[in-house]
Amino acid sequence: MSVYTYLRAAGLALLVAATWSWAGHTVLVEGVSQTSCPACANAAPVIDAIVASGAYDVCHIAYIYDRNPGSIGRVNEFEVAFVPHYFFDGGVDSWIGSGDLPDAYVNRIAFCLARPVPDLVLTLRTVWEADAYVQLTASLTNRGDADYRGRLRMCLVERQSRWLTTHGEPYRHAMIGPFAVNQELLVPAGEVRELTGTWDGLIAGFANVTRENLLGVAFVTAHDTGYADAATEAPVRLPGEEPEFLRGDANADGKIDIADAVRVLAYLFGGGQTALVCLAAGDANDDGKIDISDAIKILGHLFAHTGPLPPPFGACGPDPTPDALTCVSFPPCAP
């Protein structure tokens, strides 16, 4: 049996056995802190290190309660009484204080990664339209068999916050201003819903933000539980600015080999523990979605002489067929 045939059979077996979402699962971590809180200063760098490690598929928002009025509504939903207080997947689990770290955070992230979630694909496009004026567009695809009712929120965070801990270090991924979108939605099975909102830094009192320091974040919470079932983030780009990538290079290492097919399969069937920093690159057959056919397409190119992949292939380039798949970063094509 050839490598191609073997891995195709293995992939199909995994498809039948899988009980989790095809889209994987990005865990949402929401941390409530204050600038005057010493324990918050101890907790913040721990979650920052977990996120920066890339070991877990995590999306992080810091709510600096005493500095950003726009986050107060979300903090009140959690009924926070003490800080720091970190919430995982919208309240599936939480942790108060700065003791037992990093294990307390890692264990809760792992627990959330293992829980079943609806088969949703959430993508986000964030565009700098003018000075401190940003447009955010989220697309939610429901690939499950049942309708999905929930709430979509979109916001901006500063990668390195203007607000400091008691140690004099900046908070990271701190929400700034209000939510650009905070709206209920219903997505019937097999359908897609798209919502667009704007964030005006001038009105919000943050006219001095810089595009390079901003990151868009979107997440969806279920109507019945309030738990976060999908989360994503996207850099703020200039109008018409599209990231360049290599089709099929799913692990973004600058070449296409069997590791890319394995990476796609791990993303689909790894319980959310494997992320794709450039979904567009993982879409090897350019059909606008990530599924097992992409791994098969890569293997066919490598071992069955099925020909080249769709462009951009062989050289870095933008996606000639735009779709909802994002590309947060692709280092091999970075200038």
Residue 24: pLDDT band (50, 70, 90) is: low
Residue 62 has pLDDT above 70, yes or no: yes
- Asked if residue 172 lies in contact with residue 48, where contact means CB atoms within 8 angstroms, the answer is yes
As a whole number of angstroms, the distance between CA 22 and CA 10 comes to 16
Q: Are the beta carbons of 206 and 71 closer than 8 angstroms? A: no
This model's pTM is above 0.95: no
Residues 6+ apart with CB under 8 A from 96: 82, 84, 85
User: Which range, of 61-75, 87-101, 193-207, 312-326, averages the lowest pLDDT?
Assistant: 312-326
Q: What is the pLDDT of residue 334?
A: 79
Please report, as a single letter, which amino acid is at residue 18: A
- Cβ neighbours around 306 below 10 Å, total: 14
Three-class DSSP category at 72: helix
Highest mean pLDDT among 16-25, 30-39, 253-262, 299-308: 30-39
| CA gap 208, 299 in Å, rounded | 48
Q: Does domain 243-327 have CATH number 1.10.3720.10?
A: no
Please determine whether the domains at 121-156+175-237 and 243-327 fall in the same fold group of CATH. Answer: no
Report helix, strand or coil for 32.
strand
Task: Count Cβ atoms below 10 Å from residue 16 Cβ, excluding itself.
Answer: 6
Reported as a single tens digit per residue, the pLDDT across 97-139 is 999 999 999 999 999 999 999 988 788 889 999 999 999 999 8
Q: Token pair of 147, please?
A: 């309708």
What do you get for the CA distance between the two ends of the chain, in Å? 42
In the chain, % helix, strand, coil (3-state, to 5) comes to: 25, 30, 40
Instruction: Label residue 269 by pLDDT band (50, 70, 90).
Output: confident
67: nearest Cα among 75, 56, 79: 75
Tokens of 224: 């019945």
Mean pLDDT of 178-191: 95
Say which residue, 76 or 316, is predicted with more confidence. 76
Query: Cα–Cα distance between 35 and 57 in angstroms, integer?
Result: 27
- Kindly report the CATH number that applies to the domain delimited by 27-114: 3.40.30.10
Asked if CATH classification 1.25.40.10 holds for the domain at 121-156+175-237, the reply, yes or no, is: no
All structural domains of the chain with their residue ranges? 27-114, 121-156+175-237, 243-327
pLDDT at 121: 79
